[in-house]
Amino acid sequence: MSEHHVVPVRTYVTIFFALMVFTAITVAVAYLDLGALNNVVMLGIAVAKATLVVLFFMHVRYSTRLIPLVVVGAVFFLLLMFGITMADYVSRGALGAGSAWPTSWEK
């Protein structure tokens, strides 16, 4: 049987308060007008919060080396899918408005 790492309650409480602080910062930034940086700051805070949740609450920090590799692979493929989707979205208007190719009934 494998041994499990026992995480002290203090660690969970510390991470909980860190998440609450990040949530308060998110609310505060929502009331600021930073222009295009609003999205960047919000996404940065969201990534920091997600990292804390994955590392501590999902026990990735204390697991074998295979689990972080799987997490990194999943994040890589998520970013790849976002990149492909954004490339499609950005190039939608490149061929002009409407359908890109005329159909037989448009003659």
Please determine, for residue 98, whether its predicted confidence score (pLDDT) is greater than 60: no
For residue 6, give its domain range. Answer: 1-61
Give the per-residue pLDDT at 1.
Answer: 44
Q: List, for residues 12-62, the tens digit of each pLDDT value.
A: 999 999 999 999 999 999 999 999 899 999 999 999 999 999 999 988 888
Please tell me the pTM assigned to this model.
0.70
Give pLDDT, residue 16. 96
Considering the domain boundaries, does residue 47 fall inside one? Answer: yes
Asked if the structure places residue 29 within a domain, the reply is yes
Q: How confident is the model at residue 9 (pLDDT cuts 50, 70, 90)?
A: very high
Q: Report CA-CA distances (Å) from 93 to 80, 86, 98, 99, 103.
A: 22, 13, 9, 10, 18
105 part of a folded domain: no
Domain count, the chain: 2
75 and 47: one domain? no
**Does one domain contain both 72 and 25?**
no
Radius of gyration of the chain (CA): 22
Is residue 52 located within the same domain as residue 84? no
32 belongs to a structural domain: yes
